[in-house]
Amino acid sequence: MQKTQGALPDPAAGSGVDDVADSELRLAPDGRWWPAVAALVRDLGRDPENPDARDLRRVVVIVPGMLYAPMLREALHDALGGDACIAPRVLTLDAWADVEPALVQKQRAELFQALRDSTWVRERFGSQAGALWALARDIAFLSDELTLAACGAAEAFEGRWRAAVQHNFSHRAAAAGDLQSQLVLALWRAGLSPELGAAHLRERLEQRARRAEGPLVWLAPQGAAPWQHAFCRAYSTSSRQPACLVVADPQALGDQRPWLLAAWPELTAPDAMAPPIAARARSLALTMQAPQSAVQRPQLQILRRDSLEEEAAAAAGWTVDRLRAGCRSIALVALDRLTARRVRALLDRVGILVADESGWKLSTTSAAAAVMRWIDLVISDFEHRDLLDWLRSPFTLACEDDKATIVESIGSALLEDGVHAGMPAVRTAVARRARAGAATATAAQRVIEQMVGLAHSWQASGSLGRFLGLLNSTFDQMGMRLALAADPVGRNVLTAVQQLHDQLIGSPLRLDLVEFRALLAEHFEELGSGSRDIDSPVVMTTLAGTRLRRFDAALLIGADADHLPGTRSSGGLLANSVRRELGLRTEADSVREQTLDLAGLLATAPAVAATWRCRRHDEPLPLSPLLDRLVLLTELAGLEPLVHGPIASWHRVPATVSLPRTPSAAGLLPQGISASACQDLIDCPYRFFGLRMLGLREIPHLRPKPDKRDFGLLLHAVLFEYHRTHRPDTQVAPVGMGAAARTDATPRFTPGAAHVQLRRVVDELFAPLLQQQPALIGYRQRLRTLLPGYVEWLRTSEQDGWRWQAGELMLRRPWALAGGGGLELQGRIDRIDVNAQGQRRILDYKARDVASLRKSQREPGEDVQLLFYGLLLDPPAQEAAYLSVQRPPDPRIPGRKVVNLVPAPAPFAEHVSALATRLGEDLARIAAGASLPANGAETICRRCELRSLCRRGFTAPKSKQRDDRAV
Ligand code: SF4
């Protein structure tokens, strides 16, 4: 039988215990719910022999979650007039049935194996491990639903299923879906073991029913499924004890709030055709205007905002206002989790901590990410981003005292060697750094060796148990267990892994690493982070989490059409129409459930607000259709509008534009000036200030692949090595030691031998590098193509009497400043050639095209690199040039036009002297405190790292311009 009870039962009249045997009791899910449930429990627990006794132990109350137990106890206390009692047994269904969670994972593993072995499944759903684990999860859920819906009559239920498929699909579609049905049916029938899933639950419930000694009250506020009714009937029949399902009654909810049912008539009549909203609004208006109407008005504010930041700020501001108004419990309903995270951050910033029970998935936490990153690291063969992410995680290497420097050392080693991935390359890079004597590199090398050793064990396929064992030893060896155990969420990660270990340790299922990763990811995805260490009046929760609870205020964060109602995937294995015919939950049920929760919240919380971001990027984003109906209804009924736009700011801050910067920093003049620093000073004084005086630098990043900088370095290295080993002019006096003279000891030049020697230098240089960076192979080929042209140029150069004298030469020269003080000019010269007359020529290798180099030398004093080198050399060089090395324009003539000399402006000595004067004056001015304006030319600014920092290109505010004119 069914009984509706919208009002508090009269304790004097009792709650009609005899009437509720195997019945459904309907209660208003508002403030009347708990008192009515308490009265029911009190009356059911009353001993007929001793009606005054306060012993309710016989009664079992099944609650949706243990969160509700204190509410029931408090209501019982009131229902008993404050007298003490022996409490009823209050449990969740799983706890009462004593179902072991261990079997869930076992069932999934078996399903995964079956699916992986099926060719049809791989063709239909793909063979990716993640997809197969998700499919195993969906089939397990669906099997549980089917087992419960079948109520023990599997044969009959199977027939109903086939009939439903035939009924809902055309003949062809039914035939197409038959294979899928066959598979799901086969897996369901195979999984009907009384040890697994819902079959296990059913068996336990039947045992409970047979052994029952007292009444049962089952709280199912969102409505009871047929199997729950069937169980309650069986319970009453076998035990002769009453069993009562208590469900929410939306009709009673609308007694004093007719606008709820006018907005959402489907709450009471899901399948009936409702009158048009205008008619419902007219009827509502009449009810509200009736004299002595006790109808409550909607206490809802919808805060419409344009952007995520505005929405989050509105939500945080509203929460602060409610706290100031004295609210002691505020629910923040995280419909849009992204915005909700931002709201929590804003509240944190003003010192309001939020108790989070919204069930963030464990997979979204940094603790779980550290575990997953380790597996990614092994799969990607130590890809540098995964490696650095893992190393930098706070959940790794907790046992290392100097973790920060170890990580920095590894990062630098990868950067220096340009290593992108590969365990051998990573090991070599770190070992090379250790051999070079870097202080922290030895510890870094030890860590990398340990990681590589462990990673090798991970790479082989194995049983589930083996992988779980490896995970535990990784936690121990890599200092993860210590760090995870010290963090509340980290402890949940350890527990989750331990659960998996306990459940699957004996599983025969063999997996490869990718499949194991997918299993772990799926496991973390299903678990909540469960961090509940914060006690706060502000609670972040879900819409379902507000059910049957009492809050002083509630805020729906992200009440747009994308998030309310939220969608819940039913796995796509069964069409909605078939699900409906089989009595399974459908999407419509999910929407109705959310509508009921929303109605319950509006009915119980004295103040409710919802934030609505009405735009996403450039697209309008509609309000939630549920709230939109309420807005339209209240508008048509002539009630106060619910939607509120942003309120104009109280404080108007005038817009100010900052001027381009012109600092002055005499005390920051550097101790040394290089050719590139000198170039910066000439290009733009502010650039010199930022890069050379403040020492600002962009953080170096590992480039995804070698680029022209690498090519330039390799070109320099090849030419230096060739000349150092094969073309040294041994009789030439060292640079800076006077004139040089060629002697007969100089090796004789032959183009054929030179080409062979150069080719050998290239190959020897690249051999180790290619192990580290295979992508360099293209540059090796490019360098090889340049060799004939270089040999040809060298032949001509030697015929002209020039010999290589020195390369990669670091030179320093003290420089006194007018007005006192001094600094050092510094530079590394690529190459110095000398001739028989003792004249010197400076050469700088360039892989740039000759036209742009010529252009740069057209205006003396603009590109000063060669002139600056001229300043360094003593005795001075007679000439200087860029040596441009480019691919041969015609591949059929590989020796032609590969090398071109672009000389510095002539006369060289005169321009060097002009630079000396200019540099001396500029540096002296800076030392005296001259300002350093940002005045680079557009061509310089385009590639300048300080762009926008210098504010070049911004206008001055009008007032400032006026002031400047007046001055
Ligand atoms: S962006 Fe231009 S003006 Fe600004 S610092 Fe760089 S070179 Fe100078």
User: What is the whole-number distance in angstroms between the Cα of residue 953 and the centre of ligand 1?
Assistant: 9
Query: What percent of the chain is helix, strand and coil (3-state, nearest 5)?
Result: 50, 10, 35
pLDDT tier, 101 (very low <50, low <70, confident <90, very high otherwise) = low
pLDDT tier, 396 (very low <50, low <70, confident <90, very high otherwise) = very high
**Residue 940 CB less than 6 A away from ligand 1:** yes
**Residue 687 CB less than 6 A away from ligand 1:** yes
Specify the pLDDT at position 443: 92
Closest CA to 520 of 593, 470, 582, 570: 470
**Which residues, including other chains, have CB under 8 Å from residue 203's CB and lie 6 or more apart?**
194
Residues 138/536, Cβ–Cβ less than 8 Å: no
Angle between helices 277-289 and 625-636 (to 10 degrees): 50
Q: How far apart are CA 703 and CA 440, in angstroms?
A: 24
Percent of the chain with pLDDT over 70: 89
β-bridge mates for residue 899, sequence order = 885
Q: How far apart are CA 740 and CA 835, in angstroms?
A: 8
Task: Pick the residue whose CA is nearest to atom 5 on ligand 1.
Answer: 687
Structure tokens at 759: 């080719």
Q: How far apart are CA 821 and CA 927, in angstroms?
A: 9
User: What is the whole-number distance in angstroms between the Cα of residue 940 and the centre of ligand 1?
Assistant: 7
Closest CA to 911 of 954, 946, 951, 862: 862
Specify the pLDDT at position 15: 41
**Residue 934 CB less than 6 A away from ligand 1:** yes
Q: What is the mean pLDDT of residues 811-836?
A: 92
> Which of residues 558 and 159 earns the better pLDDT score?
558
pLDDT tier, 71 (very low <50, low <70, confident <90, very high otherwise) = very high
Q: Do domains 2-91+214-253 and 362-526 have the same CATH topology?
A: no
**Which residues, including other chains, have CB under 8 Å from residue 673's CB and lie 6 or more apart?**
681, 692, 815, 823, 824, 825, 826, 919, 923
Residues 140/108, Cβ–Cβ less than 8 Å: yes
Distances (CA, A) of 816 to 464, 487, 676, 926: 73, 59, 20, 14
Residues 691/964, Cβ–Cβ less than 8 Å: no
Please choose from 691, 693, 947, 954 the residue to mutate so as to test ligand 1's pocket, defined by most ligand atoms within 8 A of CB. 947
Residue 732 has pLDDT above 70, yes or no: no
Residue 49 has pLDDT above 70, yes or no: yes
End-to-end CA distance of the chain: 94
Residue 268: exposure state from Cβ atoms within 10 A (0-12, 13-18, ≥19): middle
| pLDDT tens-digit series, residues 404-414 | 999 999 999 99
Burial code (b: 16+ CB inside 10 Å, e: under 16) for 697-711 equals: eeeeeeeeebeeebb
Q: Which atom of ligand 1 is nearest to the CA of 950?
A: 4
Specify the pLDDT at position 153: 77
DSSP 560: B
Residues 720/713, Cβ–Cβ less than 8 Å: no
pLDDT tier, 734 (very low <50, low <70, confident <90, very high otherwise) = very low
User: What is the whole-number distance in angstroms between the Cα of residue 286 and the centre of ligand 1?
Assistant: 71
Residue 869 has pLDDT above 80, yes or no: yes
pLDDT tier, 178 (very low <50, low <70, confident <90, very high otherwise) = low
**Residue 227 CB less than 6 A away from ligand 1:** no
Phi, psi of 661 (to 5 degrees): -85, 145
Please report where in the chains the tokens 């009984």 appear, as a residue: 3
Please report where in the chains the tokens 């261990």 appear, as a residue: 102
Residue 318: exposure state from Cβ atoms within 10 A (0-12, 13-18, ≥19): buried
Strand, coil or helix: 332: strand
Phi, psi of 887 (to 5 degrees): -55, 145
Closest CA to 791 of 819, 758, 763, 823: 758
**Residue 952 CB less than 6 A away from ligand 1:** yes
Structure tokens at 137: 């999860």
Structure tokens at 75: 């209501």
Residues 726/691, Cβ–Cβ less than 8 Å: no
β-bridge mates for residue 247, sequence order = 26
Residue type, 626: L
53-67, 119-133, 220-234: the lowest-pLDDT one: 119-133
Residue 735 has pLDDT above 50, yes or no: no
59-68, 185-194, 221-230, 478-487: the lowest-pLDDT one: 185-194
**Residue 684 CB less than 6 A away from ligand 1:** yes
Please give the mean pLDDT across all residues of the chain: 87
Residue 926 has pLDDT above 70, yes or no: yes
879-885 and 899-903 strand pairing = antiparallel
Closest CA to 719 of 688, 765, 666, 779: 765
Burial code (b: 16+ CB inside 10 Å, e: under 16) for 786-801 equals: bbbbbbbbbeebbeee
Residue 326: exposure state from Cβ atoms within 10 A (0-12, 13-18, ≥19): exposed
> Which of residues 5 and 382 earns the better pLDDT score?
382
Does a cis peptide bond (omega within 30 degrees of 0) precede residue 889? no
**Residue 946 CB less than 6 A away from ligand 1:** yes
Q: Which atom of ligand 1 is nearest to the CA of 938?
A: 2
Burial code (b: 16+ CB inside 10 Å, e: under 16) for 806-829 equals: bbebebeeebebeeeeebebbbeb
How many CB atoms lie under 10 A from the CB of residue 600? 24
User: What is the whole-number distance in angstroms between the Cα of residue 677 and the centre of ligand 1?
Assistant: 14
Helix (H) / strand (E) element for 303: namely strand 300-305
Structure tokens at 760: 């050998």
Q: Half-sphere exposure of 674 toward its Cβ, with a 13 Å CA cutoff?
A: 9
Helix (H) / strand (E) element for 231: namely helix 226-239
Q: Which atom of ligand 1 is nearest to the CA of 949?
A: 4
User: What is the whole-number distance in angstroms between the Cα of residue 943 and the centre of ligand 1?
Assistant: 9
**Domain 300-359+535-644, what fold?**
Rossmann fold (3.40.50)
Please report where in the chains the tokens 């000019």 appear, as a residue: 825
Please choose from 679, 687, 693 the residue to mutate so as to test ligand 1's pocket, defined by most ligand atoms within 8 A of CB. 687
Residues 952/936, Cβ–Cβ less than 8 Å: yes
| pLDDT tens-digit series, residues 740-784 | 334 445 567 788 999 999 999 999 999 988 988 888 999 999 999
Residues 129/379, Cβ–Cβ less than 8 Å: no
pLDDT tier, 863 (very low <50, low <70, confident <90, very high otherwise) = very high
Residues 86/54, Cβ–Cβ less than 8 Å: yes
**Which residues, including other chains, have CB under 8 Å from residue 214's CB and lie 6 or more apart?**
45, 57, 58, 59, 60, 241
Q: Given 3.40.50, 3.30.300, 1.10.1200, 3.30.110, which CATH number is that of 2-91+214-253?
A: 3.40.50
**Which residues, including other chains, have CB under 8 Å from residue 828's CB and lie 6 or more apart?**
808, 809, 810, 811
Structure tokens at 884: 């441009």
**Residue 950 CB less than 6 A away from ligand 1:** yes
Strand, coil or helix: 508: coil
Rounded to 10 degrees, the C-alpha dihedral 151/154/156/158 comes to: 120
Closest CA to 805 of 852, 739, 717: 739
Residue type, 214: G
Q: Which atom of ligand 1 is nearest to the CA of 690?
A: 5
Q: What is the mean pLDDT of residues 589-616?
A: 95
How many CB atoms lie under 10 A from the CB of residue 935? 16
Task: Pick the residue whose CA is nearest to atom 2 on ligand 1.
Answer: 941
- Domain 362-526 sits in CATH at 1.10.486
Residue 737 has pLDDT above 60, yes or no: no
Closest CA to 143 of 177, 179, 111, 106: 111
Q: What is the 3-state secondary structure (H, E, C) of 15-68?
A: CCHHHHCCEEEEECCCCCHHHHHHHHHHHHHCCCCCCCCCECCCCEEECCCHHH
Q: What is the CA radius of gyration of the chain?
A: 40
Q: How far apart are CA 491 and CA 513, in angstroms?
A: 24
Q: How far apart are CA 186 and CA 164, in angstroms?
A: 17
Structure tokens at 146: 């089917």
353-357, 735-739, 825-829, 888-892: the lowest-pLDDT one: 735-739
Chain-centroid distance, C-alpha 649: 33
Q: What is the mean pLDDT of residues 48-67?
A: 85
Q: Where in the chain are the domains?
A: 2-91+214-253, 102-203, 300-359+535-644, 362-526, 728-748+792-926
Specify the pLDDT at position 698: 85
User: What is the whole-number distance in angstroms between the Cα of residue 332 and the centre of ligand 1?
Assistant: 48
Residues 552/328, Cβ–Cβ less than 8 Å: yes
Strand, coil or helix: 87: coil
User: What is the whole-number distance in angstroms between the Cα of residue 690 and the centre of ligand 1?
Assistant: 10
pLDDT tier, 8 (very low <50, low <70, confident <90, very high otherwise) = very low
Cα dihedral across residues 354, 358, 359, 363: positive or negative: negative
Q: Half-sphere exposure of 758 toward its Cβ, with a 13 Å CA cutoff?
A: 27
Q: Which atom of ligand 1 is nearest to the CA of 684?
A: 8
Residue 661 has pLDDT above 80, yes or no: no
